A and B are shown apart, each in its own frame.
Chain A
Amino acid sequence: MRSIHGYRWAAALMCLVFLSPAFAAKSTLPKGMKLPKDVKVPNDTPVAIYLPANDLGTRFYVSSIGAWAYPGKSLDDARRDLGGQLFPQMQAVALAESGAFDEGSYGLLIAINPTWNIVAGQLSLTMDYKVYDAAAAKVLEGSRVQSVPLNSPGPLGGFPNAALRTTQLVMVDVLAKLSPSAAKYPATAQMSGIDRELLIDRKKAASTGTAFYINKSGQMITAAHVLRDCVVLEAQKDGVTFPLTLTASSNLLDLAVVASGKPTDRALPLRIGQTLTLGEGVTNVGYPLQGLLADSPNLTRGNVSARAGMKGSVGLFQFSAPIQPGSSGGPVVSDGGELLGITVSSLNAAALIKDGLLPQNVNFALEAKYAAMFLRDFHIDFVEVQPSTNSTMTIANDAALGAVLQLSCYQ
C-alpha cells in the first residue's frame, strides 16, 4: 500500500510540473530551438502585439467541404494563447470605435504583417515583423514562414496550425535575439501614444474611397465602411496629402464625417427639405480603382432611377451613373449643384451572373435627408439651399469636382 501511495505522490508531482506555466511555456518552443540561458520563460516583458484588423477579420466559406475557414481568428487565437503564454504581460494593440487605441502601456511593441498563401493543398503563412522599444526605436526586424498541409489536422486545420507555428517562431526570435525582460524594457510607453507610422504597411492602402467637403471648416462626408479600422487615414487633393481625424460615424447609415482642419469654399450644399425627383439627372464623382487608374477624379453621369434600393434596404435610392470600387463615399449631385446622396454600394454583378442575370448600372446612394439628420444629431454645420432653378450639367460637374477628395486608409 505504501508503495502505491508513493507512486500517487510521484504522479501528482509530475502533474504539477507539467501543468506549471513555466513548463507549458518552455514546451511551446519549436523543436531544436533553444533560448539563451539568461532568457526567462514565461517572460515578464510588457509586450504589445499589433496585427492589422483586416487580417484579423478574414474568413471565407469553402464550398468543396462545406465549412468556414477562419484565418483571422487563428491569428488572434495564436497571439492570445501563445503570446500570452510566453509573455504573460502581453496586450493586443486594438483600435476602439473612436479610432483611438485602447489604454495600456508597453516596453516592447511587435508589429506583425501576415500573408497567407495556398498552393496545391499546402498552406503557408509569412509573418513580417518589426519590434520597437518604448522610445519607438526599431530593435529587431525579420520574417518567418511556416508551411503546413491545408487540411491537417482535420479539415482546414492548417490555419490554426500555421498561425500557431509562425507566431511561435516570431516570439522565439524576439526572445532569443533581444533577451528581453521587464527591467530591460520597462513599460514606459503608452498605447494611446503609439506612433501609427510604426504599425502600418505604407506599400498598399487597406482600403480607398472618396469624400467631399460638407462645410467651410473643411469637414467631409464619406461612407463609414471606407474608414473601417484605419490606423492612418489620409486625403489627397490636387497633389497634396493631409491627415484626417474621425469626427462622427454610423455603421447603420454607413456614413461618417472626418475633419481635415483645412478651410474650403467648395463645400456641397443640400437642398432644403432634401427632395429627390425620380429621373432627374445626376453627376457622380469618385476616385475608383486606386492603383489601377491615375489619381484623377472619375466623373460619370446618370439619373435617379428608383426611390428605393434592394428588398430590405433602408434610406437608399438607386442611380444609374456608373461607379467602381473606390467610388464609395462620393457625392451624387443634382444638376443644380446640390447634394442628393452619398454613394455606398452597387449590385454584385459577379454573384448575379451566376444566376444568369447581368445587372447594368444598378448603384445605391444614401439619401441626403439622412445625412442631414445625422449632421444635426452631431451638431456639424452644413449649408441648405433652395432647389436651383438654373440646372445644367456644367454646374453639377463643377460643384462635384470642386468638393471631392481621395481617401486612403492604412493598417
Chain B
Amino acid sequence: MKGRRMSMNVKSCATFMGVMVSFAALATDPVPAETTEPASALPAMSFYGSIANDELFELVSKSDQFTRIDKELYGSPLHLRVMHSLQPTSGGKATGLLSAIFSGGTLGLLPVVTNNSLVVTYEVRVHGRELVSYSYQRSFTRAVNIWAKDETYGLGKDGLEWLKSTATEFTAAAASDAKLTSLKKEYERYFGAP
C-alpha cells in the first residue's frame, strides 16, 4: 500500500477552527453576493512551494485556472508543487570562494560575489503521479553583504523578480495545456463542477 505523506498542523487547525467560529458569528449578516469562478478554473488542489511559498502562492492563485489552490488541502488527490534547485555554476564556485576570502578578510566590508543557476519546476501531480511539468532556468550573479538580512531567499532582488515572473509564465502555459483540460473534464465527470 502506498503511504501518503500527510501531516496535520495543530496550530493551523486551530486557526481554521477560529475562522469557522468567526463565520458562525457573522451568520446573521446579509448574505454576500455569490462569487463566480472562471469556467476554466481547475479543481481544488493543494499547493506547496519549496521557495518563496507565499509569494508564488499569491501569484498563481490570481490566475483563472488556479483560483482554488490551498496550502492545507491535505487529502486532495491533486497537488501543485513548485520545486527549485539552486546550484553554483562552475565559474561561480571559484568566484564565490575567492570573494568569500576577501569578504572575511575585511570583516564583511566587501561583499561575497556568487554565481548560481536556479531551476524552478512547476508540477501538477495526481495522486502523486506527475501529470504536467514546466521548468524555468536562469543563472545570475549577485553581491551579498554577509551582515545584511536577506529577504530574497538567497536570490537577490533581480533573482526574486525573475522567480515571480515564472509564476506568470507557468499559468499562461497551463491555460492551454491539454492534459490539465482533460483532468478537469474527468474530475467534473466524477465529482461535479468546482
Chain A interfacial residues counted at CB < 8 A: 52
Binds B, one of A101-109, A247-255, A271-279: A247-255
Report the separation of the CA atoms of residues A100 and B142 in the bound assembly, to the nearest whole angstrom: 48
Query: Once the chains bind, are B75 and A351 in contact (CB under 8 Å)?
Result: no
Binds A, one of B143-151, B155-163, B184-192: B184-192
Query: Once the chains bind, are B75 and A316 in contact (CB under 8 Å)?
Result: yes
User: Beta-carbon contacts of B92-105 to A below 8 Å, as 1s and 0s?
Assistant: 01000000000000
List A residues 280-329 near B (Cβ within 8 Å): 286, 288, 309-316, 323-328
Query: Once the chains bind, are A352 and B8 in contact (CB under 8 Å)?
Result: yes
- B3: chain A residues at CB < 8 Å are 325, 345-346, 348, 350
Query: Once the chains bind, are A312 and B5 in contact (CB under 8 Å)?
Result: no
Chain B interfacial residues counted at CB < 8 A: 39
Query: Once the chains bind, are A313 and B2 in contact (CB under 8 Å)?
Result: no
- B84: chain A residues at CB < 8 Å are 68
Query: Once the chains bind, are B190 and A154 in contact (CB under 8 Å)?
Result: no
List B residues 59-89 near A (Cβ within 8 Å): 70, 72-77, 83-88
Query: Once the chains bind, are A311 and B88 in contact (CB under 8 Å)?
Result: no
User: Beta-carbon contacts of B41-56 to A below 8 Å, as 1s and 0s?
Assistant: 0001010001000000
Query: Once the chains bind, are A343 and B126 in contact (CB under 8 Å)?
Result: no
- B126: chain A residues at CB < 8 Å are 251-252
Interface membership of B10, Cβ < 8 A: yes
Query: Once the chains bind, are A68 and B85 in contact (CB under 8 Å)?
Result: yes
- B6: chain A residues at CB < 8 Å are 310, 347-348, 351-352
- A316: chain B residues at CB < 8 Å are 75
Given contacts A311-B72, A312-B44, contact A251 B129 (CB under 8 A): yes
Report the separation of the CA atoms of residues A122 and B157 in the bound assembly, to the nearest whole angstrom: 36
List B residues 109-152 near A (Cβ within 8 Å): 126-129, 131
- A226: chain B residues at CB < 8 Å are 2
Given contacts A155-B87, A328-B2, contact A315 B44 (CB under 8 A): no
- A328: chain B residues at CB < 8 Å are 1-2
Of all chain A residues, which has the CB nearest B46?
A312
Centre residue among B90, B129, B189 by max chain A CB count within 10 A: B129
- B189: chain A residues at CB < 8 Å are 373, 377
List A residues 77-127 near B (Cβ within 8 Å): none
- A207: chain B residues at CB < 8 Å are 2
Query: Once the chains bind, are A312 and B75 in contact (CB under 8 Å)?
Result: yes
Query: Once the chains bind, are A313 and B76 in contact (CB under 8 Å)?
Result: yes
Report the separation of the CA atoms of residues A377 and B186 in the bound assembly, to the nearest whole angstrom: 11
User: Beta-carbon contacts of A127-146 to B below 8 Å, as 1s and 0s?
Assistant: 00000000000000000000
Query: Once the chains bind, are B74 and A253 in contact (CB under 8 Å)?
Result: no
- B70: chain A residues at CB < 8 Å are 312
- B73: chain A residues at CB < 8 Å are 311-312
Question: B100 to nearest A CB, angstroms?
Answer: 15
Given contacts A68-B85, A70-B85, A251-B127, contact A314 B191 (CB under 8 A): yes
Interface membership of A153, Cβ < 8 A: yes
Interface membership of A149, Cβ < 8 A: no
Query: Once the chains bind, are B77 and A67 in contact (CB under 8 Å)?
Result: no
Question: A115 to nearest B CB, angstroms?
Answer: 22
Query: Once the chains bind, are A348 and B75 in contact (CB under 8 Å)?
Result: no
- B75: chain A residues at CB < 8 Å are 309-313, 316
Report the separation of the CA atoms of residues A223 and B187 in the bound assembly, to the nearest whole angstrom: 17
CB contact between B50 and one of A68, A209, A311 (< 8 Å): that residue: A68
Query: Once the chains bind, are A209 and B9 in contact (CB under 8 Å)?
Result: no
Interface membership of B175, Cβ < 8 A: no
- B74: chain A residues at CB < 8 Å are 310-312
Question: B193 to nearest A CB, angstroms?
Answer: 13
CB contact between A345 and one of B4, B88, B187, B190 (< 8 Å): that residue: B4
Given contacts A154-B93, A228-B129, contact A67 B86 (CB under 8 A): yes
Centre residue among B7, B10, B70, B72 by max chain A CB count within 10 A: B7
Of all chain A residues, which has the CB nearest B86?
A67
- B128: chain A residues at CB < 8 Å are 225
Query: Once the chains bind, are B1 and A324 in contact (CB under 8 Å)?
Result: yes
- B90: chain A residues at CB < 8 Å are 153
- B7: chain A residues at CB < 8 Å are 348, 351-352, 354-355
Question: A265 to nearest B CB, angstroms?
Answer: 28
Of all chain A residues, which has the CB nearest B16?
A311
Question: B78 to nearest A CB, angstroms?
Answer: 8
Report the separation of the CA atoms of residues A352 and B5 in the bound assembly, to the nearest whole angstrom: 10
Of all chain B residues, which has the CB nearest A59?
B83
Sampled A-B contacts (28; CB under 8 Å): A61-B50, A67-B86, A70-B85, A153-B90, A154-B93, A225-B2, A250-B186, A252-B127, A253-B190, A254-B127, A286-B1, A309-B75, A310-B6, A310-B75, A311-B73, A314-B190, A316-B75, A323-B1, A327-B1, A328-B1, A346-B3, A347-B6, A348-B6, A352-B7, A352-B8, A356-B10, A374-B190, A377-B189
Q: Known contacts A225-B127, A325-B1, A352-B6; can you find 4 more A-B pairs with CB under 8 A?
A: A315-B190, A348-B5, A350-B3, A373-B190
The 4 closest A-B pairs by CB, nearest first: A310-B75, A312-B73, A313-B75, A312-B76
